[in-house]
Structure 1
Amino acid sequence: MTVLLVRHGRSTSNTAHTLAGRSEGVDLDDRGREQASGLVDRLGGLPIRAIVRSPLLRCERTVEPLAAALGLQPVVEDRIIEVDYGSWTGRKIAELVKEPLWAVVQQQPSAAVFPDGEGLAAVQARAVAAVREHDRRLADEHGGDVVWVACTHGDVIKSVLADALGTHLDSFQRINADPASVSAIRYTPMRPFVIHVNHTGGALNAALNQPPSETKDVPAGDAVVGGSTD
């Protein structure tokens, strides 16, 4: 199973340099709408069977063109909603960087809990659970490997990628997830394989259409562990 983690296109909050959080009515800006339309060419050639999205407007707008092109009805998943930033919601980033908590978010995010909001460790737990559950559900429904889209938010994507990479949440700030970027994870019974991170280029199909390895669930380059390839 392969999930394409799509961050929503550039929003009006992104260009205003504010922390949108779960504020209602935050839409895509002109560039974000272009990015949403561009997903049709970038992803439309892939055998996508399902689209799952955060309930927030900017994610709804991002997947609309792709869903229409593929004839799919997106599924709304509350567990991949944006972080609840509590009283930080709507504030200018330039103000927030002066807060003592900002350093914790950057250096030890697993310990960060936003005032009147949620902690990043809780965000990772809910998001990873949601992605893995949808992955299993779609595998059962389609009886094999399926490509599907989860449209969500930057910190959510970074936390899911950290889990798939087997790295601690405290390292998740080393991962980028730009607006309209695509990151790909292939889940197998053995372990996840991270195929792409923060892809913002053209059609995303090269690594997703590779023939299966002769070694079950293991990419060809991973078949030899610690020894000679002869």
Structure 2
Amino acid sequence: MQLVLVRHALPQRIHPADAPAADRPGGPADPPLTPRGEEQAQRLVGALAAEPVAGLYTSPLTRARATAAPLAAALGLEPIVVDDLREYDADAAHYVPVHEMPRLDPAAWERMRAGLLPESVDVGAFTRRVAAAFEGIIAAHPGRETAVVVAHAGVVNTWLAQLLGLDRPLVFPLDYTGITRVLAGRDGRRVVRTVNEIAHVADLLTPPAPTPAPPRGDAARCSP
């Protein structure tokens, strides 16, 4: 079968400096898509129009579910939410889109550029979690079926690193709504066919103007 892996579209930034203290939501940051992200998500409909999609799966996070929504409507499929497809920082209280990382958190940006997850992440446990999620989806679609999975850069990258025997979990720069294809055989073979197809959104990937930086001393949590 074929897995079509999609990174979510561009989400909004969530940071304590973006709203008065009384208006700041508690709990983990779970941002919606920006208007540009919504347009990117719409482009998936045309990009995958020729695919015989038998199943649609998504991370539980809002940015992934919103990315899958236009495709679900076009296909007439109810997305299946898989909790283990959530990103490694799903419980963080802040979210800063990757294009703002060099300015807001240079140290985190350099670590990501080096292909490394944050030091706080148990890479082995995270890898086992996402691999099990993908293998569960594969098991549900025998034969030549195609399933689309909307998730996150860290989730997709970590599984690709395992399949390819790479020693770093964040090797590939995956763009918003970039498409990656993995072929899964009944004999256990997993073949990475393509990585980060972006022709459908090439004109929508120029980063928007960054939002103003938070006051000095505020820590930014940045995420793929």
What is the TM-score with the length of structure 2 in the denominator? 0.73
Secondary structure at the aligned position of 1:180 is classed as coil
Task: Pick one of 69, 82, 85 that aligns with 2:87.
Answer: 82
Does 1:176 find its partner at 2:201? no
Task: Pick one of 29, 32, 35 that aligns with 1:23.
Answer: 29
CA contact (8 A) 1:165 1:192 kept: no
| 4+ aligned runs moved over 4 Å, structure 1 | 85-88, 102-108
Structure scoring higher RCO (CA < 8 A, sep ≥ 6) equals: 2
Does 1:133 find its partner at 2:130? no
Q: Can you give the 5+ residue segments of structure 2 that lack an aligned partner in the other structure?
A: 19-27, 202-224
Letter in 2 for 1:43: L
Using the aligned pairs only, state the percent identity: 28
- Could you say if the C-alpha distance between residues 90 and 69 of structure 1 is closer, same or farther in structure 2, counting changes exceeding 3 Å? closer
State which structure, 1 or 2, has the greater radius of gyration over its C-alpha atoms: 1
The superposition leaves residues 120-159 of structure 1 with CA deviations (integer Å, 9 ceiling, x where unpaired) of 33222111110011101222xxxx1111011001111111
Does 1:13 find its partner at 2:13? yes
Q: Can you give the 5+ residue segments of structure 1 that lack an aligned partner in the other structure?
A: 204-230
Residue in 1 that maps onto 2:150:
151
Distance in 2 (CA, whole Å) between partners of 1:202 and 1:96 is 30
Distance in 2 (CA, whole Å) between partners of 1:195 and 1:68 is 27
- Could you say if the C-alpha distance between residues 85 and 61 of structure 1 is closer, same or farther in structure 2, counting changes exceeding 3 Å? closer
Distance in 1 (CA, whole Å) between partners of 2:188 and 2:141 is 18
Mapping of residues 74-223 of structure 1, within 5 Å: 74-84=79-89, 89-90=94-95, 93=101, 94-98=103-107, 106-107=113-114, 109=116, 112-114=118-120, 118-139=121-142, 144-168=143-167, 170=168, 172-188=169-185, 189-202=187-200
- Could you say if the C-alpha distance between residues 6 and 72 of structure 1 is closer, same or farther in structure 2, counting changes exceeding 3 Å? same
Please state how far the C-alpha of 1:42 moved relative to its aligned partner. Answer: 0.2
Distance in 2 (CA, whole Å) between partners of 1:95 and 1:167 is 29
What is the TM-score with the length of structure 1 in the denominator? 0.71
RMSD over equivalenced CA pairs, Å: 2.7
Please state how far the C-alpha of 1:97 moved relative to its aligned partner. Answer: 2.5
Please state how far the C-alpha of 1:174 moved relative to its aligned partner. Answer: 2.7
Please state how far the C-alpha of 1:13 moved relative to its aligned partner. Answer: 2.6
CA contact (8 A) 2:9 2:37 kept: yes
CA contact (8 A) 2:29 2:92 kept: no
Please state how far the C-alpha of 1:105 moved relative to its aligned partner. Answer: 5.3
Higher helix share: 1
